[in-house]
């Protein structure tokens, strides 16, 4: 939290009791005047002139309070220059709306609890990256494909694309999506054609990028829509689980090295969630987590941790942070009451394939999405996103080795 916002909150909580007293107390007494000056409910005044003077002072104080509080809020600055987002449907906020693919969420009931409704977010409300933006006091990063011909925003952009992954072929069965390499290519285009015009020197641009936060979630679809789809792809016949995970890690490492060369220094990468516990699989296995799938994913996550540590040690001035989403997701599902969930098995919206895929358009979802962990067959509700973002911002054991709060300080 920046200094202006801190001052604003101190000002708010220091004077709020006085304001409440002045506005709402039924009897207001001033020792300099002696007796009760007026009784609020009767509107009776013991001395009209003195009462008028007190009311004038009260009004002036109230307007001073309001002015200073909002002045400090208006002039508060974001905690970092920008937030850049990469990934899949967990972070996609509308890029796929403009691509020839059936992997879209630009229809109700998606966005039911979001201020702009169905924007393309694959949940009922805000994504995890939306919550991170709020913590950083930044606007939600705009989707890149929606603003190509508009003036660039310096607060960040979102390049995430649903159904895609690390490998170029992942998600191709649904149409066109932006794999991670293409997303980073678009970020490079953003730098070369848009950002350079806003900075007086390359050093100034480099400093802006170095202080910005980059967040990514990618790899889930390389399993769900590739490796675990033997009728569509031959990767499971070509690679065993260890070799395939290493293939993904090697490719991801190269992508992150490219991002580093473009100027990124503070990068957060989410683990793959416990895929065997999402409705896409549990509803095929009598409601139970498919542990074989979870074990396959855990191989990738183990290698991911080691790879991020290696990048941090070899790329000067960088910090690659791991967000431990897998264990948190498993805890959500196995200990729902701990987080206030009533249902961690069934999707809130009525979904295709007996609840195993995406929401059926326009059908009314469950009445209390905040009680459900899952929104559709793949994605969780915004409630889980809020918890994860809060942990990543504040807890270095969750986002390791540094929380976002700590990451901002280096």
List residues with catalytic annotation. 89, 376, 379
Label residue 213 exposed, middle or buried (CB < 10 Å: 0-12, 13-18, 19+). buried
CA torsion angle 339 268 97 255 (round to 10): -150
Token pair listed for 158: 């979102």
CA nearest to 103, candidates 185, 224, 272: 224
Which residues partner with 268 through β-bridges?
215, 321
DSSP 8-state class, residue 10: H
Sheet (strand 36-39) strand order: 27-29, 36-39, 44-45
Token pair listed for 165: 């992954």
Token pair listed for 49: 């002139």
CA nearest to 47, candidates 37, 60, 58, 62: 37
Which residues partner with 321 through β-bridges?
268
Cβ count within 10 A of residue 31: 5
Which of helix, strand or coil describes residue 153?
A: coil
Token pair listed for 91: 């972070």
The number of CA neighbours under 13 Å toward the Cβ of 107 is 11
Cα 200 to Cα 81, 92, 208, distances in angstroms: 16, 32, 12
Q: Are 369 and 124 in contact (CB under 8 A)?
A: yes
CA nearest to 116, candidates 130, 128, 132, 102: 130
């Amino acid at each position: 939290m920046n200094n202006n916002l801190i001052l604003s909150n101190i000002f708010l909580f220091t004077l709020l009791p006085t304001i409440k007293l002045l506005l709402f107390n039924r009897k207001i007494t001033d020792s300099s005047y002696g007796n009760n000056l007026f009784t609020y409910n009767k509107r009776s005044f013991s001395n009209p002139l003195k009462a008028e003077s007190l009311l004038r002072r009260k009004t002036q104080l109230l307007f001073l309070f309001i002015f200073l509080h909002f002045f400090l809020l208006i002039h508060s600055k974001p905690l970092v220059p920008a937030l850049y987002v990469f990934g899949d449907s967990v972070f996609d906020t509308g890029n796929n709306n403009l691509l020839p693919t059936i992997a879209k969420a630009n229809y109700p009931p998606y966005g039911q609890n979001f201020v702009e409704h169905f924007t393309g977010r694959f949940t009922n409300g805000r994504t995890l990256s939306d919550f991170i933006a709020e913590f950083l006091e930044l606007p939600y990063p705009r989707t890149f494909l929606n603003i190509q011909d508009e003036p660039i925003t310096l607060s960040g952009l979102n390049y995430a694309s649903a159904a895609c992954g690390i490998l170029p072929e992942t998600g191709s069965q649904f149409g066109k999506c932006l794999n991670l390499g293409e997303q980073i290519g678009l970020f490079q285009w953003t730098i070369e054609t848009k950002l350079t015009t806003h900075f007086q020197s390359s050093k100034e641009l480099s400093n802006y990028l170095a202080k910005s936060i980059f967040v990514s979630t990618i790899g889930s679809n390389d399993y769900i829509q590739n490796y675990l789809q033997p009728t569509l792809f031959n990767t499971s016949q070509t690679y065993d689980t260890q070799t395939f995970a290493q293939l993904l890690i090697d490719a991801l490492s190269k992508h992150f090295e490219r991002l580093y060369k473009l100027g990124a220094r503070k990068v957060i990468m989410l683990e793959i969630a416990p895929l065997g516990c999402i409705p896409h699989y549990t509803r095929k296995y009598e409601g139970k987590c498919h542990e074989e799938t979870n074990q396959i994913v855990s191989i990738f996550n183990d290698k991911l941790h080691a790879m991020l540590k290696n990048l941090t040690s070899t790329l000067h001035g960088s910090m690659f942070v791991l967000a431990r989403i897998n264990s948190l997701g498993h805890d959500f599902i196995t200990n729902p009451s701990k987080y206030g969930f009533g249902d961690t098995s069934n999707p809130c919206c009525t979904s295709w394939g007996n609840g195993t895929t995406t929401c059926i358009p326009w059908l009314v979802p469950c009445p209390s999405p905040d009680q459900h962990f899952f929104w559709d067959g793949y994605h969780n509700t915004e409630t889980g996103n809020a918890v994860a973002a809060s942990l990543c911002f504040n807890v270095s054991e969750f986002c390791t080795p540094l929380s976002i709060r700590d990451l901002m300080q280096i």
